[in-house]
Chains A and B, each alone.
Chain A
Amino acid sequence: AQSVTQLDSQVPVFEEAPVELRCNYSSSVSVYLFWYVQYPNQGLQLLLKYLSGSTLVKGINGFEAEFNKSQTSFHLRKPSVHISDTAEYFCAVMTTDSWGKLQFGAGTQVVVTP
Chain B
Amino acid sequence: DAGVTQSPTHLIKTRGQHVTLRCSPISGHKSVSWYQQVLGQGPQFIFQYYEKEERGRGNFPDRFSARQFPNYSSELNVNALLLGDSALYLCASSLGTGAYEQYFGPGTRLTVT
Contacts and interface: CB of A to CB of B under 8 A. Distances in A.
**Does A pair with B?**
yes
Interface of A: 4, 32, 34, 36, 42-46, 49, 51, 90, 92, 94, 98-107
Contacts of A43: 4, 90, 104-107
10 contacts: A43-B106, A43-B107, A44-B90, A44-B104, A49-B100, A99-B97, A100-B56, A104-B44, A106-B41, A106-B42
B76 to A, nearest CB: 15
Interface size class of B (residues with CB under 8 A): 20 to 34
Interface centre among A42, A99, A104 (most CB of B within 10 A): A99
- The 3 nearest A-B residue pairs measured at CB: A104-B42, A100-B48, A43-B104
A100 B97 CA distance: 9
Given A43-B107, A44-B90, A103 B45 contact: yes
Interface of B: 4, 31, 33, 35, 41-45, 48, 50, 55-56, 58, 90, 92, 94, 97, 100-107
Interface centre among B43, B50, B58, B107 (most CB of A within 10 A): B43
